[in-house]
Structure 1
Amino acid sequence: MSDDGPLSRILLTRVIEPGDETGGRWLREYGVREVVRRLRADGATALPGVGEKRWAGLRARAGHADPERDLGAAARAGVRFVAPGDAEWPTQLDDLGDGRPLGLWVRGRPSLRLWALRAVAVVGARACTEYGAHMAATLAAGLAERGWVVVSGGAYGVDGAAHRGALGAGGATVAVLACGVDRPYPRGHTELIGRIAEQGLVVGELPPGEHPTQRRFVLRNRVIAALTRGTVVVEAAHRSGSLVTARAAQRLGRFTMGVPGPATSGLSAGVHELLRGEATVVTDAAEVVELVGDMGELAPLRRGPVLPRDLLEPGARRVLAALPGDRPASPEEVARGAQTSEDEAVARLYELRALGYVERHGDGWKLTRQAMISVRAGRSPR
């Protein structure tokens, strides 16, 4: 096994767990070939940073590893292995330092490196509400329509909704799994993950056939954060795993965003805690792209509806605002309230009468009944 071939790294994916910074330091300081030699050679000196029991366990794993078998199984499942230095390797994963993946198993046709250049993570609660599922799907569809790749973890809840939203929009999505990419997990998402593999990419650090564990789920989240320009959290309780992704994104200098929910919802409590820190509130795909996109990709200005009174001349609006809502007022009183002359006030009152806003009442003026109702509702009085 040579340093420039994939077999040594493939062997190490059976030996060193994802995110093991001690193993990453070995590769950086000694090189892949020397690490593999020491793990497999009888009587070889143990590498620093581990005790005797752990070293013996690692050597036992190395003894049972068969990288050629793994490579063959991957090829039969339509899976390829991408290692650091390969043309398809996303270099932003190098930001993980000694905790970067040994390599990634990739299922699907597109280039992972090219897709990761314009990718956003959408993550959140597994037991999400209908609101959370709706927001995740809507955000993902909007991002996909704008040419962004949606990355998530393939899990139930927000993850699944995000993947479906992107797929439904005919867009690109990537599922990062905490197991072998040839064995979809959760099993209830077998069909979904199959669709992702056909239309997008399924990636993971673990070799074919490997099963997920709680720790592997947690460590998988750092890959989601590192692959993308930013992470959006849609519903998360205080102990949600999606917060691990958000915090990893913050450590890596990526954008961290949150979709707010009801203040009384425990499933939004973790998101709200993020938003009290350095995370940014987002409510749709345009706001996400404004943050993570290129210069000029701005969200539209948010404005309320234009009301009929907004279209009045400024002088007429002042006179209208000076009329009390519960009684008639004299022209002199209206003029004082509008800070104008009595002649100007009278002229404006006649103008407003023609538009249906006011009516004469003896020597005074008052709002029409229809005007009072329509002004509150934002409609024209006629």
Structure 2
Amino acid sequence: MHPAPSAPRPAGDGVRLARAGLCRLVEPTDPTAMLLLAALGPVAALEIAAGRRTIRAAEHADLVRAGAEAGYGPRQVDLRRAMERWAGRAAGLDPAADLAAAARAGAWFAVPEDPDWPEALADLGLFQPIGLWGRGRRGLLRFPAGRAVAVVGSRDCSGYGRGIALDLAGALASRGWTVVSGGAYGIDQAAHTAALATGTGVPPTVSVMACGIDRLYPRGNDELLRGVEASGLLLSEASPGCTPSRYRFLQRNRIIAALSAGTVVVEARWRSGAQNTAHHADGLSRPVGAVPGSVLAGTSAGCHRLVREGSAVLVTDVEEVLELLQPLGATAAATDPADAAEGPAAVVDGLSQPDRVLLDALPLAARSRPDHLVRVAGLSAREVLGGLRRLEERGLAEGSEEGWRRRR
């Protein structure tokens, strides 16, 4: 008799610890960080990114080669400048403490080296998550993306939009589909609520959050998110303790899109996080459906835009959604930072990505000093000081001897 094959083993402690450290140290869409990780692996990547040792000549050659394969030139893979960005967070880096904080919250940490890592996330290529912090039954993590659908939309939805979201998500969940959304107010809230009420899939619903797994955001959805945890999954790529900010909402949207066979946008303003999710899905060659609304309703302007631009197919009921999904299935409330840029003229227009991140990091009431902003925003001191002046010139920030804050 031949011995039975052994089950795939989870990642070793060194790899898990290194990925937990990278989750805290770098942003998940930082190309230099992701190239370093892809070229050298998590342990070496953390040692170098945290400044614990210098990069060797052969390792730097591997980094440049990985960049070239991904379409980045040597000047774009600037490790020195990247390490300036990461230095503020590197000083207090303690991945063991993050893992302990997650455990205290009843959470776990999954990494791509684990046998239950969701295969669909590999479609994100270089920008698949460094790791996923999760709450809920770990055994559900490898749910089939081919039987999952993202239902997303505006946080300040109309009664019409909420009703449509309840109907669509409820009908999909009752037919065994996993409903994936973001746990926010409005359409997300309706989608999760309906899936929990009618779901027959395993899991019935999954929420991908934009904050640390040890907190439930928004607070008004606390009971709902605990219901998702009890029956489905709460997931986040942000380290424990991280607060929600607009750029984290936009980053997590790629995960919502990747974990689903397709995306349905129920309501979305002309500029919105839901549109961002739809564009991620389209970029992954996942089908996108958009629900029509009144031509006079701002909450539907984004849906009409997606259809007009050819990024989405118009859908009006569950049968049309299933027509859209079946080929694959067979084989961002006013208090939510993600809504800050909705509307025809956003304050972030024309800002560089570092300046947008810095603007998100600025408090509205209390003041924050530049050295604190370096750690919070994950930017270098030079980027923070220069960015503060640029934001001040645009009337977006104000400084004093006590520190800086965002102008209302």
TM bracket (short chain): 0.7 to 0.9
* Equivalent-residue separation in structure 1 for 2:52 and 2:196 (angstroms): 51
Kept in 2: contact 1:119–1:148 (CA 8 A): yes
Q: Name the residue aligned to 1:219.
A: 251
Q: Does 1:96 align with 2:106?
A: no
| Cα deviation 1:64-120 (Å, max 9, x = unaligned) | 121222112212222111111312211111111111110111110141212434110
Structure 2 residue 166 is matched with structure 1 residue 137: yes
Question: Which of 287, 292, 303 does residue 255 from structure 1 map onto?
Answer: 287
User: Using CA pairs below 8 Å that are at least 6 residues apart, which structure has the higher relative contact order?
Assistant: 2
Moved more, 47-56 or 161-170: 47-56
Q: Does 2:207 align with 1:175?
A: yes
The equivalent residue for 1:288 is: 321
Q: Which residue of 1 aligns with 2:49?
A: 39
Shift of 1:180: 0.8
Aligned partner of 1:73 among 72, 78, 101: 101
TM superposition score normalised by structure 1: 0.73
Indicate whether 1:83 and 2:116 are aligned: no
What percent identity do the matched residue pairs reach? 47
Of 163-172 and 220-229, the range deviating more from structure 2: 163-172
**Structure 1 residue 170: Cα displacement:** 3.9
**Residue 154 of structure 2 corresponds to residue 125 of structure 1:** yes
**Contact 2:50-2:86 within 8 A present in 1 as well:** no
The question of 1:275 aligning with 2:285 is answered: no
Distance 1:157 1:31 in 2: 40
* Separation (CA, whole Å) in 2 of partners of 1:255 and 1:26: 32
Task: Name 1:105's counterpart in structure 2.
Answer: 133
- When structure 1 is superposed on structure 2, of 19-28 and 285-294 the one drifting more is 285-294
Q: Does 1:10 align with 2:20?
A: yes
Kindly indicate whether the alpha-carbon contact (under 8 Å) linking 2:207 and 2:235 is maintained by their aligned counterparts in 1: yes
Name the CA shift for 1:4/1:114 in 2 (closer, same or farther; >3 Å).
Answer: farther
- Using a 3 Å threshold, how does the CA distance of structure 1 residues 295 and 94 change in structure 2: closer, same or farther? closer
How far, CA to CA, are the matches of 1:130 and 1:42 in structure 2?
Answer: 54
Task: Please list the CA deviations of residues 121-180 of structure 1 after superposition, one character each: whole Å capped at 9, or x if unmatched.
Answer: 000011110000001111110011000000001111111111111112144111100011
Which residues of 2 match residues 201-350 of structure 1 at below 5 A? 201-276=233-308, 277-293=310-326
| Counterpart Cα distance in 2 of 1:206 and 1:115 | 23
Q: 1:148 to 1:71 in 2, by over 3 A?
A: same
Change (3 A) 1:67 1:117: farther
Q: Distance in 2 between matches of 1:92 and 1:30?
A: 23
- Alignment partners' CA distance in 1, 2:210 and 2:229: 16
Query: Partner of 1:64: helix, strand, or coil?
Result: coil
Compared CA separation, residues 3 and 96, structure 1 to 2 (3 A): farther
State the aligned residue count: 297
Give, in angstroms, the shift of residue 5 of structure 1.
3.0
What code does the residue aligned with 2:289 have? Answer: M
Please state how far the C-alpha of 1:290 moved relative to its aligned partner: 2.3
Q: CA deviation at 1:56?
A: 3.2
Question: How far is the alpha carbon of 1:269 from its aligned partner?
Answer: 1.2
SS in 1 for 2:241: coil
Map Cα deviations across residues 182-228 of structure 1 (whole Å, 9 max, x no partner): 10111111111111101111000011111111111111111101111
State the TM-score, normalizing by the size of structure 2.
0.68
Distance verdict in 2 for CA 1:209–1:115, change over 3 Å: farther
* Deviations 1:248-268, CA, capped at 9 Å, x for gaps: 100000011111111221211
Q: Give 2:39's aligned residue.
A: 29
Contact 1:2 1:8 in 2 (8 A): no
SS in 2 for 1:232: strand
CA distance in 2, matches of 1:43, 1:251: 37
Q: Deviations over 1:34-76 (max 9, x none)?
A: 1112134556249773464641341342331212221122122
CA contact (8 A) 1:14 1:65 kept: yes
SS at match of 2:25: coil
Q: Which has the larger radius of gyration?
A: 1
Q: How far 1:33 moved relative to its partner?
A: 1.7
Residue identity matched to 1:195: G
User: How far did residue 296 of structure 1 move?
Assistant: 10
**Any idea what SS the aligned residue of 2:316 has?**
coil
Question: Which secondary structure state, in structure 2, belongs to the residue aligned with residue 81 of structure 1?
Answer: strand
